[in-house]
Each structure stands twice: as structure tokens, then as C-alpha cells.
């Protein structure tokens, strides 16, 4: 069992007060907070080995390079990737997807080809594919979402054609919390001879991710959503694809030989890491992953299940509250609507009580619109949240309703 008080003491920002009240942070889906080990690692990096990696012969640069490559090892182990050269550091989940959409697109997508995404995707896993489809004259096919917030697997199976080039689906829905059956989704893609990208931005922080078990061809996430720093992300890709794909960005370190006429590129993973990477961000993120491992991924999963169950029961008990997204497998995200109360009013008032939720389309307009609304109120929890905070949320919602009537 996790000692939540001890855990909370590791996250300095959780002690913040807003408008004189204790902060109740239920916006973890947008970004997570950072434990002291991460903050200390960043401080250590800047004060003891800040120096450009891969570049210098000198001791500081060597130290920085060792730390940076060590972070790559940590990521590889965390998601059980086969090869360390298949781990590419990017500036975030969005950049990871854009990299694949561009580079995979350049190599494998032509006019008339098809790309499959789902109705459940975050904008980050919609817009890059729309852009590449537009550039290449390809067609976007959509897996619909059922009323409980799960994917329509039957329709999914029917979407494949001989022109399907790639599938891109989220592991976990940021708006509804639905955990998708990514192993099965991957198997179906592979049965059709099609590679698959899984957007892990909302999955990595909540449980075990094993890319070999899933067998996906690409997997990605952001550091800031997994208790790490901003400005860093990961792309895992199978080398059989990464080796074939042209680089996305050009610059230092990703090259082998440069002449003004022609340039040859470095090997993996460097081919996809142009310029000075956020090596300090990478090292900080690795510290966050180590922190999760040592806290216990299993325990975190159990704790979050408890939080979700408790919060679901509590909120279901409030009259006029409708939960959107009732899949059997969820991470602790609850999106809901209040009868007769505009989400924005609710958000504003909850804020003044110190309760941070997110309101709006959750960067998933198509999904939100599919549920017949412009936006929802989303409470997204993580293991450092408490039952008392859920009580505060429920009480806050009741108060909002009273004020509005």
C-alpha cells in the first residue's frame, strides 16, 4: 500500500494554496506535477554537468552524454523496447506524432492511400494525419466510438483496404479515460499487414507499458505528463521502419557527412534528433520514470483504481450529473456534464474553491461533439490525489448547483 502522505510530501506544489484554500489539483490529464527527485536532478544537471552532448572531447560533455544516453536506456527499459537505438527523444508527444506523420508519410503514403485513426483521438493524433493526407492526397478513415466511450471494433475491422498504410490510435482517451485494447487493435492491423502507431500520452503515467507485448510499430508520450519536465518527449519505433524513413528535421548531430551538394545521415536514433536536444529534460524525465518504478507501478495502478471507483460512485450520486465515458476499463479520468449548469460557470466557481478541473473540448472536439455537446468538465486524478479531494470536488459541485438555482 502506498503511503499517500509521504508521497504528497514529495510534490512541493501540492502544498500550494489558491485564493487562501488548499489546492485540489484534478487536472493531471493536462499536466502532472514533479516529485523532488526530478527537481533535484534538473538542478544537479544544470550545476554539475550542463554541456552539449555528443559534441565535445571534454569531461563535462562526456558526463552529459553519459547521462543522456543513460536516460535513453531508462526509457528503453521502462517500455521494454528491444533496442536502445529505437528510442528517440523529441520535444513532446505532439512532436513525436508529427515526426511519424511526416517521415512515414514521405516514405510510405501516396495519393489514394488510406490512414485509419479513431473518433476518440486527441487533436495531436488527428491534425498531423489530416495534414499529411492533404499533402499526399490520401484519405482519412475513422473508427467510430460507441456510446460507452469504447471503440467500435467491428467497424474498425471493416475499415481496412489494400490502400491502408497505417493505423494511429490512442492507448487511453484523454477526454473519457477509456483504455483501448491496444494488443488486439495492433493484432488486427498486423493481420491486415498494416503498421500501427499508439499514442501513449495518457497511458504511460498510469500503468505498465510493454511495447513488445503490444507489438505496436510506434509508441510515444510526453515527459510532462509522466511527472517529468516540460519540453521533452519520446518516440519509440521499430527500426525496420525508422531506418527506412527519411529524417524529419535537419541540423547538427543527425548528419554523417555534409557537403553543400549532399548530406548523408547518422544512424538511429541520432538521425531523428536534429540539433541540441533537450538533454537535461531527458535526464529529468528518466528520474521521473525511476521514481515511478521505485514507487511501484502495480501499487499506483491499484490506488488509481480505488480513486476512480470512489469518485465515480460519489459523482454518480449527484442529481443532474451525467458522466460521459463509462467504459469498463478506465484510468482515473471522469468527464461529466451538469444539467442546467454551463461547464464554464462550474469551472470558474470550482476554481475559486481551490479545485482545478478542466472544462471545454479537452483538445478532442470530434469526440466531444459526438456526445452532443461543446465541452465537458473533466476531473483527472492520479495516485497522489486523495479521497478527501474527491469529497471536496463532490461538495463543490453540489455548491455550484445551489448557486445556479
Helix (H) or strand (E) holding 241: helix 239-242
55 binds its own copies (CB under 8 A): yes
- Report CA 14 to chain centroid distance, whole Å: 22
CB of 342 to ligand PLP, least distance (A): 23
201 binds other proteins (CB under 8 A): no
Closest CA to 96 of 123, 69, 76, 125: 125
| Nine-digit cell string for 332 | 482515473
# of chain residues touching other proteins (CB under 8 A): 22
Candidate list 87, 126, 292, 308; residue touching its own copies; CB under 8 A: 126
Closest CA to 135 of 94, 105, 167, 100: 105
Site string for its own copies, 308-347 (x = CB under 8 A): ------------------------------------x--x
Instruction: Give the span between the Cα atoms of 88 and 99, in whole angstroms.
Output: 10
Closest CA to 81 of 280, 220, 226: 220
Residue of 363, 386, 395, 398 marked catalytic: 363
How many CB atoms are located within 10 Å of the residue 59 CB?
10
359 binds other proteins (CB under 8 A): yes
- Report CA 379 to chain centroid distance, whole Å: 16
Q: What is the DSSP letter of 374?
A: S
Candidate list 1, 19, 319, 372; residue touching its own copies; CB under 8 A: 19
Partners of 178 in the β-ladder: 330
Which of these segments, 86-94, 287-295, 318-326, 343-351, binds other proteins (CB under 8 A)?
A: 343-351
403 binds other proteins (CB under 8 A): yes
Nearer Cβ to ligand PLP, position 124 or 394?
A: 124
170 is in the binding site of which of ligand PLP, its own copies, other proteins, none (Cβ under 5 to 8 A by kind)? ligand PLP
Residue 226's contacts (CB-CB under 8 Å, 6 or more residues apart) are 32, 204, 205, 285, 288, 289, 292
How many CB atoms are located within 10 Å of the residue 73 CB?
12
Nearer Cβ to other proteins, position 174 or 359?
A: 359
Q: Helices 297-316 and 279-295 sit at what angle, rounded to 10 degrees?
A: 80
Nearer Cβ to its own copies, position 80 or 365?
A: 365
- Interacting residues toward ligand PLP by CB under 6 A: 92-94, 122, 124-125, 170, 174, 199, 201-202, 222, 224-225, 252, 275-276, 363
Nearer Cβ to other proteins, position 322 or 342?
A: 342
Instruction: Name the site residues for other proteins (rule: CB under 8 A).
Output: 19, 53-54, 57, 62, 65-66, 68-69, 342-345, 347-349, 352, 359-360, 375, 403-404
Annotated catalytic residues are: 363
Amino acid at each position: 500500500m502506498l503511503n499517500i502522505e509521504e508521497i504528497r510530501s514529495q510534490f512541493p506544489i501540492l502544498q500550494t494554496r489558491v485564493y487562501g484554500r488548499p489546492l485540489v489539483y484534478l487536472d493531471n490529464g493536462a499536466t502532472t506535477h514533479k516529485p523532488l527527485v526530478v527537481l533535484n536532478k534538473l538542478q544537479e544537471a544544470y550545476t554539475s554537468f550542463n554541456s552539449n552532448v555528443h559534441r565535445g572531447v571534454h569531461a563535462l560533455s562526456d558526463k552529459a552524454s553519459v547521462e543522456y544516453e543513460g536516460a535513453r536506456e531508462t526509457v528503453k527499459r521502462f517500455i521494454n523496447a528491444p533496442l536502445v537505438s529505437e528510442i528517440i527523444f523529441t520535444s513532446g508527444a505532439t512532436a513525436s506524432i508529427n515526426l511519424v506523420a511526416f517521415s512515414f508519410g514521405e516514405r510510405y503514403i501516396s495519393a489514394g492511400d488510406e490512414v485509419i485513426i479513431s473518433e476518440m483521438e486527441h487533436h495531436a493524433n488527428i491534425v498531423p494525419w489530416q495534414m499529411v493526407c492533404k499533402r499526399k492526397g490520401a484519405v482519412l478513415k475513422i473508427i467510430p466510438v460507441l456510446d460507452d466511450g469504447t471503440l467500435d471494433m467491428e467497424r474498425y475491422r471493416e475499415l481496412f483496404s489494400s490502400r491502408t498504410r497505417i493505423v494511429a490510435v490512442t492507448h487511453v482517451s484523454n477526454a473519457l479515460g477509456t483504455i483501448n485494447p491496444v494488443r488486439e487493435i495492433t493484432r488486427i492491423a498486423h493481420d491486415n499487414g498494416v503498421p500501427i502507431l499508439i499514442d501513449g500520452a495518457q497511458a504511460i503515467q498510469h500503468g505498465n507499458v510493454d511495447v513488445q507485448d503490444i507489438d505496436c510499430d510506434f509508441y510515444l508520450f510526453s515527459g510532462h505528463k509522466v511527472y517529468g519536465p516540460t519540453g521533452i518527449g519520446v518516440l519509440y519505433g521499430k527500426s525496420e521502419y525508422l531506418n527506412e524513413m527519411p529524417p524529419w528535421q535537419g541540423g547538427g548531430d543527425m548528419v554523417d557527412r555534409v557537403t553543400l551538394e549532399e548530406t548523408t545521415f547518422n544512424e538511429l536514433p541520432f538521425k531523428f534528433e536534429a540539433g541540441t536536444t533537450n538533454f537535461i529534460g531527458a535526464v529529468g524525465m528518466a528520474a521521473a520514470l525511476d521514481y515511478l518504478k521505485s514507487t511501484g507501478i502495480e501499487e499506483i495502478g491499484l490506488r488509481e483504481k480505488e480513486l476512480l471507483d470512489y469518485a465515480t460512485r460519489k459523482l454518480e450520486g449527484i442529481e443532474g450529473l451525467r458522466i460521459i465515458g463509462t467504459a469498463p476499463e478506465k484510468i482515473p479520468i471522469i468527464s461529466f456534464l451538469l444539467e442546467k449548469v454551463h461547464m464554464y460557470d462550474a469551472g470558474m466557481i470550482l476554481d475559486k474553491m481551490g479545485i482545478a478541473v478542466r472544462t471545454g473540448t479537452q483538445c478532442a472536439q470530434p469526440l466531444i461533439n459526438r456526445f452532443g455537446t461543446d465541452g465537458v468538465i473533466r476531473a483527472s486524478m492520479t495516485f497522489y490525489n486523495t479521497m478527501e479531494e474527491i469529497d471536496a470536488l463532490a461538495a463543490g459541485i453540489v455548491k455550484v448547483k445551489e448557486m445556479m438555482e
